[in-house]
Amino acid sequence: MLNINKDADGSKITIALQGRLDTTTAPQLDEEVKQLQDKVTELIFDMSELQYISSAGLRVLLSAQKMMNKQGSMTITNVSPEIMEIFDVTGFCDILTIK
């Protein structure tokens, strides 16, 4: 299960993820990302409550990063050690901005 909480502050959007970002839930997040407007210049994913990510979740983060490269910046915050290891193995730690 994945809960997605979106908080907008002008052109800055924070998306807090809670639960599991897997093959069954990644399409939900993909849909949210696609709905973001051009005026969004700062996208933040808060992963403090995210327990799990698989390649389906990575795919959504990659397409979000590609989109934000055209219109602003994207940051990932509060990554757990387990998810950080997945970012490391896949080289995502080099292409995402993780704080």
Partner 1 sequence: MKELNVEAKIDNLHRVLEFVDEELEGLDCSIKLQTQIDVAVEELFVNIASYAYEGGNGMACIRIDKEEMEPAIVITFIDQGFPYNPLEREDPDVTLSVEQRNIGGLGVFMVKKSMDEVSYKYCDGSNMLTIKKKLAG
- Of 9 and 99, the one with the shorter C-beta distance to partner 1 is 99
**Can residue 58 be called a binding residue for partner 1 (CB under 8 A)?**
yes
- Of 15 and 68, the one with the shorter C-beta distance to partner 1 is 68
**Can residue 24 be called a binding residue for partner 1 (CB under 8 A)?**
yes
Pick the stretch among 3-11, 33-41, 42-50, 76-84 that binds partner 1 (CB under 8 A): 76-84
**Can residue 42 be called a binding residue for partner 1 (CB under 8 A)?**
no
How far is CA 93 from each of CA 9, 16, 34, 89, rounded to the nearest angstrom? Answer: 27, 19, 23, 8
- Of 10 and 91, the one with the shorter C-beta distance to partner 1 is 91
Residue 14 CB, shortest distance to partner 1, in Å, is: 21
**Residue whose tokens read 């409550």:** 49
The answer to whether 2 and 25 are in contact (CB under 8 A) is: yes
CB-based contacts of 76, cutoff 8 Å, min separation 6: 44, 45, 47, 61, 96, 97, 98, 99
Residue 45 bridge partners (DSSP): 15, 76
**Can residue 69 be called a binding residue for partner 1 (CB under 8 A)?**
yes
